[in-house]
Structure 1
Amino acid sequence: MKKAPNRVPPRSAGFTLLELLVTVSVLALIVGIGVPSFQDIIRRNRLTEQTNGLLSALALARSEATKRSGIVTVCPANDPEAPTACADDADWTANGLIVFSDNIGDRGTLDSDEDNPETNDVVVLHLAPASTQNITISTDRGMVSYDRDGALAQGTPSMEFALVPEGCRGDDGGRVVQLTTTGRARSQKSDCNGD
């Protein structure tokens, strides 16, 4: 009598339930760690972008004041589409920023005489759009004016801008832009209170 050979059933191609559960668990762990870190990176990049935009507007105003030998002002716009003056409050976030030649009339107002072809004054030198990054820019003043030497106009004391993102947490979640009486601006990390 012949014995039938032992046949091993063929192994199916695929994953076992245990292999699938281990793979899904590892993937869930990686996503759980990676997503919050990625959100922090996005928040920091948006904060850096907003800080650089403010620093650029301040640098432009200082440069133009020395180039034009006159007063140049940076302030929050009263209207994002057609600014005619600085905003009445010190909200530097809502309507964007304007940089303009401010030699004639009331400080902080775009006077019609300032668009004078003889002196090459241009009313609006720069209009930065309102922030869509959910970052609050706050300071205690409604405008910054530079004189022809590039310093803050008429003995204006030094000032600070606090930039704080929505949902800020931690000791280095915000930024502070410091502006000296000589007109120099610099940025540094701050806590979520702007300190």
Structure 2
Amino acid sequence: MHLSARLQRGFTLIELATTAAVAGVTLTVAVPGGLHLLEDSVLSAEVNRFVAHFNFARSEAVKRGTEIVLCPSRAGADCERGSDWSDGFLIYADRDGDGARDEEDTILRHVHPDDGRARIRSRSASRWRVVFQPSGTTGGTNGSHAFCATHGSADARAVIVSNTGRVRVAERYSDGALPDCV
């Protein structure tokens, strides 16, 4: 029995193999680019959250008329000297302006990034904290932090706090060097 051409429908094995090969090549090219885009947007969200905390501290310094300090802190009670901010940081009002966290100082926020999606490192271990003056400035020289994804290939960002108190995000530090979280 011979079926007419009108009743025969479907794809040949060669057509199916060709379609599968084209789909495979397309996915091979598209998926890594899509993953990089996702990693980049996650890192951007984390950086924006970090910058928002700095802007909060600056506005509180002006509003309260006192120094506001940001410093690395895991537990949220005291500052920890060092350049690693990844395990958390503290924002407090330094009422007596002595630069040390005392009982009379008011803790405004303890930020504890619990998702582990980013590493945050101060560029200079000697500038382990940021102090906003009542005028909104930080004094001294620019302070810089490297912001890197813990997984994936998203590009690192530099969070730069100028001595005027302005916080900005850049692909490179002010001197042109790339941010490094090692």
What TM-score results when the alignment is normalised by the length of structure 2? 0.82
Q: Which residue of 1 aligns with 2:171?
A: 189
Distance 1:168 1:188, change over 3 A: farther
Count of aligned pairs: 172
Q: Does 1:8 align with 2:18?
A: no
Q: 1:9: how far off? A: 2.7
RMSD: 2.5
Between 10-19 and 31-40, the greater mean CA deviation after superposition: 10-19
Match of 1:112 among 96, 103, 126: 103
Matched residue, 1:146? 132
What letter corresponds to residue 107 of structure 1 in structure 2?
A: G
Instruction: Measure, in 2, the Cα distance between the counterparts of 1:159 and 1:84.
Output: 23
**Which of 36, 39, 50 is the aligned partner of 2:46?**
50
Instruction: Please state how far the C-alpha of 1:29 moved relative to its aligned partner.
Output: 1.2
1:102: how far off?
A: 1.5
Structure 1's unaligned 5+ residue stretches are 1-6, 115-122
Task: Judge conservation of contact 1:165–1:174 (CA < 8 Å) in 2.
Answer: yes
Larger radius of gyration: 1
Task: Describe the shift of the 1:78–1:108 C-alpha distance in structure 2 as closer, same or farther (beyond 3 A).
Answer: farther
Q: What secondary structure is seen at the aligned counterpart in 1 of 2:44? A: helix
Using the aligned pairs only, state the percent identity.
25
Residue of structure 1 equivalent to 2:141: 157
User: What's the offset of the Cα at 1:192?
Assistant: 9.1
1:119 aligns with: none
Distance 1:52 1:133, change over 3 A: same
Q: Which residue matches 1:17? A: 13
List alignment gaps of at least 5 residues for structure 2.
none
Instruction: After superposition, give the CA deviation of every residue in 1:118-137 in whole Å (9 maximum; x if it has no partner).
Output: xxxxx222232225354222
Question: Which has the higher mean CA deviation after the structures are superposed, 29-38 or 126-135?
Answer: 126-135
Q: 2:108 aligns with which of 125, 128, 138?
A: 125
In 2, are the aligned partners of 1:78 and 1:88 still within 8 Å (CA)?
no
> TM-score if structure 1 supplies the norm length?
0.77
Counterpart code for 1:125: L
